[in-house]
A and B are shown apart, each in its own frame.
Chain A
């Protein structure tokens, strides 16, 4: 695993790779520097490792946003804790797996999201965020280089899609 990379490389790629839902937080301050996106026609091992590390960091940041949304929703609607807390815990597992082997995030924690006063609307917002996350991890997966990261992102995309399904089934009664 690549030990370090220039900060700008990481951010520049993160903006391309992470379709971070704008409604649940801010994206890193983008520096659209000259760093080219990694090419698929024969990248060096180093560039693949750097790109994978950037993918991991961006996906971990997106997991942080989801965790913040879950935590804020549970705080605002304690009656939802039983259904939401186990799913939030799975996002912490996603984050830990993504951060394995890369430097821990040093940026600011995500802003506390604004949660709807209506519990059903709050659940609907989480469902929408999970769907965006599953789509974003699907795109990440297509761009991943190493097999283990590809597999991890595919599993996370599947997990997040299943969260939407679980909340759609139970959310209506909350």
Chain B
């Protein structure tokens, strides 16, 4: 694995970890169908972290990310806005991962970028020509 690929994978893990944290602080502010949507998003991001870590050799595994600079939302509007922002930024991270990989790994990265951009809009984010850029 090239250094560029490893760096991009670690950036994706960091971004996914930030997303898991954000969903964790947002979910208590969301109820009903929004709560369901958030729990689905949280599960998807947790799975992505597992999948990304499986592609990194043991010796290169990054430490668990932490110390996220996130204002804890106090209502549903703030929670949705937080998640829209986290998702769209993660879409750009996955576009970087696509550029650092080939073949099926690249396809997986593009599909992840698409899912993140879609979830951002589902949380009320405006569609962007170049999501997260």
Contact = CB atoms under 8 A, between A and B. Distances in A.
B127 A162 contact: yes
Q: Is the interface of B mostly helix, strand, loop or mixed?
A: helix
A163 interface: yes
A166 B91 CA distance: 16
A154 B92 CA distance: 9
Interface stretch (A2-10, A16-24, A99-107, A134-142): A134-142
Interface residues of A, number: 32
Given A90-B127, A141-B106, A142-B107, A158 B121 contact: no
A169 interface: yes
B82 to A, nearest CB: 18
Nearest to B114: A161
B31 interface: no
Interface string B96-108: 1011101100110
A31 interface: no
B96 A157 contact: no
Contacts of B132: 155
Nearest to A135: B114
Contact of A90 (B91, B115, B129): B129
Contact of B109 (A91, A152, A154): A154
A97 B133 CA distance: 13
B74 interface: no
Rank and list the top 8 A-B pairs by shortest CB-CB distance, nearest first: A158-B117, A90-B129, A154-B95, A161-B114, A93-B129, A162-B117, A154-B98, A151-B99
